């Protein structure tokens, strides 16, 4: 399973000019490091499934993981197919409402197939834990998880991860698919959001998504 990675705490406050002005406080993981790490993750997955009889099914959790999925899938040296699951979003709050819903399920059966869940970020991991139980009930041949980012300080659910891109502090991050109020997804790096943008909200938000009307 995934090895522990060094906690990424260094910030670059020299933020490149961008369409969001000074909303971005700092760059936590620059674009070139993201892409290098994604290629390494793709190589590891390709090696794991190189002898598989059927294409690997990549399950992308919308919306945040789309950018990661796209670059990751293109970096694979093995065939893959893509499926999407959409779960309840944040709305305009930086904190979880405690109620989460599946908004879109998979379009195909995964029974007997090798499945890899592609996540953008793991906070507590409670929703992902539920999601994995749901997918295991569909009897895939194998089920693994990769995540681009993980917050080990707040992860409470025990989840076996095949690979982790970066461990990061418990801060609200944006860019490369991650948003606040549907903005900032299109930044090419992982950055931190200036606290004034979400003033009045909880200072350290959580991204939790999951099943039909289940309170966590």
- Active site residue: 114, 120, 123, 167, which one? 123
Find the domain containing 92 and state its range: 24-215
Task: Please tell me the predicted confidence (pLDDT) of residue 113.
Answer: 98
From the list 156, 148, 159, the residue with the least C-alpha distance to 72 is 148
CB 156 within 8 A of CB 125: yes
Residue 65 lies in a domain: yes
Residue 99 lies in a domain: yes
Residue 45 lies in a domain: yes
Residue 61 lies in a domain: yes
| Residues of the chain below pLDDT 70 | 1-4, 89-100, 156, 200-216
Cα–Cα distances in angstroms (integers) from residue 34 to residues 40, 46, 157, in the given order: 10, 18, 25
CB 81 within 8 A of CB 141: no
120 an active-site residue? no
Residue 7 lies in a domain: no
CATH number at residue 30: 3.40.50.2020
Task: Please tell me the predicted confidence (pLDDT) of residue 155.
Answer: 74
Residue 159 lies in a domain: yes
Task: Please tell me the predicted confidence (pLDDT) of residue 53.
Answer: 95
- Domain count for the chain, please give it: 1
Residue 15 lies in a domain: no
Q: Model pTM greater than 0.75?
A: yes
Task: Please tell me the predicted confidence (pLDDT) of residue 1.
Answer: 60
Residue 18 lies in a domain: no
């Amino acid at each position: 399973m995934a090895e522990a990675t060094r906690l990424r705490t260094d910030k670059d406050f020299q933020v490149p000019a961008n369409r969001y002005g000074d909303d971005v406080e700092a760059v936590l993981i620059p674009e070139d490091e993201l892409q290098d790490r994604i290629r390494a993750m793709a190589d590891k997955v390709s090696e794991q499934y190189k002898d598989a009889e059927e294409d690997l099914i990549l399950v992308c959790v919308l919306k945040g993981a789309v950018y990661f999925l796209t670059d990751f899938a293109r970096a694979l040296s093995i065939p893959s197919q893509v499926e999407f699951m959409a779960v309840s979003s944040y709305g305009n709050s930086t904190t979880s409402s405690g109620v989460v819903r599946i908004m879109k399920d998979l379009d195909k059966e995964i029974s007997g197939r090798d499945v890899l869940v592609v996540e953008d970020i793991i906070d507590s991991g409670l929703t992902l834990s539920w999601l994995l139980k749901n997918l295991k009930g569909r009897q895939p041949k194998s089920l693994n998880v990769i995540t681009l980012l993980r917050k080990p300080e707040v992860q409470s659910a025990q989840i076996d991860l095949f690979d982790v891109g970066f461990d990061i502090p418990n801060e609200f991050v944006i860019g490369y698919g991650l948003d606040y109020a549907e903005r900032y997804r299109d930044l090419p790096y992982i950055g931190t959001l200036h606290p004034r943008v979400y003033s009045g909200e909880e200072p350290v938000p959580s991204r939790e998504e999951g099943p039909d009307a289940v309170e966590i």
